[in-house]
A and B are shown apart, each in its own frame.
Chain A
Amino acid sequence: MRLNRVALYGLLIVAAFMLMAPVLIMISTSLKPMSEIRGGSIFALPTDPTFAAWGKAWFGDCTQAVGDVCQGLSSSFMTSVRIVIPALILSVGLGSVTGYALAAWRVPGANLLFAALLVGMFIPPQVTLYPLIILVRELGLFGSISGLVLVHVIWGVAFTTMMFRNFFKTVPQDLLKAARIDGAGFWPLFWYVMLPLSLPILGVAMILQFTYIWNDFLLGLTFGGRSGQPMTVALNNLVGSQFGEKEYNVDMAATMLTALPTLAVYLLSGRLFVRGIAAGAVKG
């Protein structure tokens, strides 16, 4: 029994270390000055830790400015925020309503609609990229943040609708009947009864959508244009387009900065996330 415990924890520690190693190396490298990186091992800890590389990644290094390369990630961070917040609210908000409508009301052609949503979820984004470009261009939104938000909402709503529909399908029929007898129509039933019930799923949908949208590279690159470049695209530019010596410490710091928001969201909402997944798993 005791031996089992030791073996179990040993295994977990090894697994955790293997998963953590790249992140630890990134952090360690980002804290080193270039001289240390040039001379030392990749596994060596920084002897003289400095946040200079983080500062450079965030604010940019205007002494070597070529055009707007001077800007660090700070401005694209704001762009990402301006993309994520409306896209998140719209995709989750719309998905919760459409999922509710599909689950709780008799919608003509609901099964067909649902099948379409399923297909929508499994098609790789590359396939629909060109039609989407045409759509957004015709709407006059190409190369703007609104256009990018629209594309994220279109992509996200299939997924969120599915999540909410599957959750709302588990709500007992009697509850819906009781609400109808109490006189609750479409919106009151949603607002007073269903939405409060769906809080765990709402949390999960928010977290997953936040992660997808924040981490997206392809759609941002395609639809954002110059003004709407999210942080991931900016990171790619920063890492891929430097002159002279490769500044690994700045690259690592920039990568960490880009990944930090999603990490923070997971850490802060971990409990809610697990609860929502469990709620879906048990009932669905």
Chain B
Amino acid sequence: MNGVELRGVTKAYSGLAVMKDINLEIEDGAFLVLLGPSGCGKSTLLNMIAGLEPVTGGEIHIAGRDMTKLEPDERDIAMVFQSYALYPTMSVRKNIGFGLKMRGMARPDIERRVSEIGELLQITPLLDRKPSQLSGGQQQRVAIGRALVRDPVVFLFDEPLSNLDAKLRADMRVELKRLHERLGRTIVYVTHDQIEAMTLATRVVVLEQGRIQQNDTPENVYRRPANRFVASFVGAPTMNFLDGKLVRDGDAVLFDTGAGCLPVAGLPDHAAHLLDRPVTLGARPEHLVFDDAGCAAKVLLAEPTGPDQYVRVAVAGAEVTARTGPEQVFRSGASVSILADGARISVFDPDSGQAIL
């Protein structure tokens, strides 16, 4: 069992609680992404797992052992930083080998391990250069190499791709995923980039204000957000939120905002208890469908993105964004007809913000 377990972990800075009762079990071999906005505490949590910051309360177990009080180098972890944090005065070879040298490994063994890592990451020609002579992407490879060479039970990544340009970021993302599949090691990965979270993770933990908001597969975090925060943080363009009531109109169900209606097609039967009470409807842009069975709406603006287009629409006294294919042309001011896909929408309690469908 080479996973990580956090039991009731808290963190306070001079009395101010920033992490509140974090309980989290990370399975052996999982790629767990800690996702959240700046200041949500995700890096603090990672630093606590690494042992770089002491916990205020709770326990941290790694590979089945209580590591709460141990130093970072005693925890059998390795970490990759956003700034790469390579030792500027050392060659790439020495950078990668430094951790092994500190552990007292014999020089020939270090040499052998470093060359293996060099081949694995295809950085052999760079081994004798200084970090300042490398590009950002190359530096990040070296930083990953420095983590790999130690062969730890858990890898920690702190926003490793944030300093790379968009193209390189996409390439490195693919490489990281391959690396994880090949090594099968547990990875804890911090990011504020939901694309990274969705593409890389086997498990996503959404954090906000020092609390876990949702801990689920990436699919479920997107499809079945646990609360309004998760729903609005994940997904771009963001989910549409409408306040009102679901009401029955003959065979159909309508969402009544008080300023107009939006038909909800195919609402599942188990949602019947949500009728006729104040709720918040959450519909992602792709949950809004242009359909003649819908109700009248007015096009405000269309934004073609290439494969899709996002159409801003005024309906039921609100503005929503709908996603559709690029074929149809929407002119500003045109009348259209729109409905919501009841099988895919979310419904939230308007007071607590918790998902109730």
Do B85 and A177 touch across chains, with their CB atoms under 8 A apart? yes
Question: Which has the most chain B C-beta neighbours within 10 Å: A174, A180, A182, A196?
Answer: A182
B83 CB-CB contact with A under 8 Å: yes
A contact residues, range:
10 to 19
Do A174 and B82 touch across chains, with their CB atoms under 8 A apart? yes
Please measure, in the bound complex, the distance between the C-alpha atom of A184 and the C-alpha atom of B85, giving whole angstroms.
14
With A188-B102, A192-B98 already in contact, the answer to whether A181 and B77 are too (CB < 8 A) is yes
Please measure, in the bound complex, the distance between the C-alpha atom of A177 and the C-alpha atom of B103, giving whole angstroms.
16
B78 CB-CB contact with A under 8 Å: yes
Do A197 and B99 touch across chains, with their CB atoms under 8 A apart? no
Please measure, in the bound complex, the distance between the C-alpha atom of A177 and the C-alpha atom of B71, giving whole angstroms.
11
**Complex interface: chain B residues within 8 A of A177 (CB):** 47, 50, 52, 72, 79, 81, 85
Do A197 and B88 touch across chains, with their CB atoms under 8 A apart? yes
**Complex interface: chain B residues within 8 A of A193 (CB):** 87, 89
Shortest B333–chain A CB gap in Å is: 53
Shortest B64–chain A CB gap in Å is: 21
**Complex interface: chain A residues within 8 A of B193 (CB):** none
Do B88 and A183 touch across chains, with their CB atoms under 8 A apart? no
Nearest neighbor of A180 in chain B, beta-carbon distance: B72
Interface residue count for B (Cβ, 8 Å)? 24
Do A183 and B103 touch across chains, with their CB atoms under 8 A apart? yes
With A177-B52, A196-B89, A197-B88 already in contact, the answer to whether A182 and B83 are too (CB < 8 A) is no
Do B82 and A180 touch across chains, with their CB atoms under 8 A apart? no
With A174-B82, A174-B85 already in contact, the answer to whether A181 and B52 are too (CB < 8 A) is yes
A244 CB-CB contact with B under 8 Å: no
Give the residue of A175, A178, A184, A192 whose beta carbon is less than 8 angstroms from that of B79.
A178
| Residues from 60 to 103 in B contacting A, C-beta threshold 8 Å | 71-73, 77-79, 81-90, 98-99, 102-103
Give the residue of A172, A175, A184 whose beta carbon is less than 8 angstroms from that of B102.
A184
Nearest neighbor of A183 in chain B, beta-carbon distance: B73
**Complex interface: chain B residues within 8 A of A179 (CB):** 87, 98
Please measure, in the bound complex, the distance between the C-alpha atom of A61 and the C-alpha atom of B244, giving whole angstroms.
108
| Residues from 82 to 128 in B contacting A, C-beta threshold 8 Å | 82-90, 98-99, 102-103
**Complex interface: chain A residues within 8 A of B78 (CB):** 181
**A174-B81, A175-B87 are known contacts; what are 12 more A-B pairs with Cβ within 8 Å?**
A177-B50, A177-B52, A177-B72, A178-B79, A179-B98, A180-B52, A181-B72, A181-B73, A181-B79, A182-B73, A183-B103, A193-B89
Q: Please name 23 pairs of A and B residues whose Cβ atoms are closer than 8 Å in the assembled complex, sorted by A.
A: A172-B83, A174-B81, A174-B84, A175-B85, A177-B81, A177-B85, A178-B81, A180-B71, A181-B50, A181-B52, A181-B73, A181-B79, A182-B146, A183-B73, A183-B99, A183-B102, A183-B103, A184-B98, A188-B102, A192-B90, A192-B98, A193-B87, A197-B89
The 5 A-B pairs at the shortest CB distance, nearest first, are namely: A183-B73, A182-B99, A196-B89, A174-B85, A183-B102
